[in-house]
Structure 1
Amino acid sequence: MASRIRLEDRECPLSTTVQHVGEWWTLLILHDAFDGYTRFDQFQKSLDISTSMLTARLKTLVADGLLERRPYQTNPVRHEYALTERGRSLRPVIVALAAWGNQHLPQEQRSMVLVDAATGEEVEPVVVDARTGRSLQDSDAFVFTAGPAAGPGMRARYTELGRPRSEPAGAEDAESRRA
């Protein structure tokens, strides 16, 4: 896929993430992979996707390190596509996107819901701060700001918004030791 990232966005994690997973078929293939599909014909049947499109998307997912291509049959050689650790780390993102979609549908129109595997009870996923457990839903309590590796453009963006610059872990201690 041709890069759609603007030069000034190359350091933005959202822009670079969308470059990897923002394409329609990519998210659907990853969703199928989370459901346990690994073989080309399974993806093709589930998604009703053309052979050429599926081939291209799978190649990109392998090149991006989200899927691993490995042989499962030798005569003739056939390959399967398994999620890598990097690919598995996208599961909360896929779950959050599906949950967002379900929030905007009446209960009777939901074709897929997330449930507790042990109880079968529907769950409502939320994104929380791992340190405090607070929901990130509150847009006033949590904001983006320039991080320690931010370039001049990113720093200017958040300075204009009046946001404090984040410091790398331990920076405060190092500063106090110098004083």
Structure 2
Amino acid sequence: MVKRTRFDDHSCAIARTADLLGDWWMPLVVRELLMGRKRFNEIQERLDINRSLLSSRLARLESEGIVERIRYQEHPPRDEFVMTDKGRALWDVLAVMGAYGEQWLFDEPPEFEFYDKRSGDRTEPIVIDRVTGQPLDVTTTRRRPSVDDVASQP
């Protein structure tokens, strides 16, 4: 078996996010949690995932502070998994992944689509700059050392 390279201590935010979501099951588990499925059996049945794989993915999400385990039944012990603010923030990532998939990975319309619950209109997620409100584009956006890194250099 090939050992997985970890990026959880890498200096790049994209690498750290890829470390968290890079396993093919993890985005799907997060999707199910964001869609309101909280119980282990619901998620396991929906994804048809091996129980031990799901257990390890949920444990990682819990250790990362993305979900909180809450006991809903004592005998036998049963827990549900509730998204934290940190977990709900992953919605943006998954929505944009979904938009990419819809545009580039299907020859025909996908089986499911995202829509606005208030209006019923189909949604088309994009990434925008929080400061300017403008869409981010690879031709106009670059990386540089953060202000903290620049300030700490002699």
Q: SS of 1:112's equivalent?
A: coil
Which residue of 1 is the match for residue 85 of structure 2?
Answer: 85
Alignment of 1:1-179 (within 5 A): 3-5=5-7, 10-104=10-104, 105-106=106-107, 108-136=108-136, 138-150=137-149
- CA deviations 1:128-158 (Å, max 9, x no partner) are 112212111x2221111111244xxxxxxxx
Structure showing greater radius of gyration is 1
Q: Kindly state the Cα deviation for residue 5 of structure 1 after the two structures are TM-superposed.
A: 2.5
Moved runs in structure 1, 4+ residues, more than 6 A? Answer: none
Same amino acid, percent of matched pairs: 32
- How many residue pairs were aligned? 148
Segments of 5+ residues of structure 1 without an aligned counterpart are 151-164, 168-179
TM-score, with length taken from structure 1: 0.76
In 2, the alpha carbon distance for the partners of 1:121 and 1:87 equals: 25
In 1, the alpha carbon distance for the partners of 2:147 and 2:39 equals: 42
Which residue of 2 is the match for residue 170 of structure 1?
Answer: none
TM-score, with length taken from structure 2: 0.88
Q: SS of 1:81's equivalent?
A: strand
**Which amino acid letter does the alignment assign opposite residue 142 of structure 2?**
V
In 2, the alpha carbon distance for the partners of 1:10 and 1:110 equals: 35
Q: SS of 1:24's equivalent?
A: coil
Q: Kindly state the Cα deviation for residue 3 of structure 1 after the two structures are TM-superposed.
A: 4.9
Q: CA RMSD in A?
A: 2.0
**Which amino acid letter does the alignment assign opposite residue 59 of structure 1?**
A
Q: SS of 1:109's equivalent?
A: coil
Q: SS of 2:81's equivalent?
A: strand
- CA deviations 1:157-176 (Å, max 9, x no partner) are xxxxxxxx7x7xxxxxxxxx
In 2, the alpha carbon distance for the partners of 1:100 and 1:132 equals: 23
In 1, the alpha carbon distance for the partners of 2:123 and 2:59 equals: 34
Segments of 5+ residues of structure 2 without an aligned counterpart are none
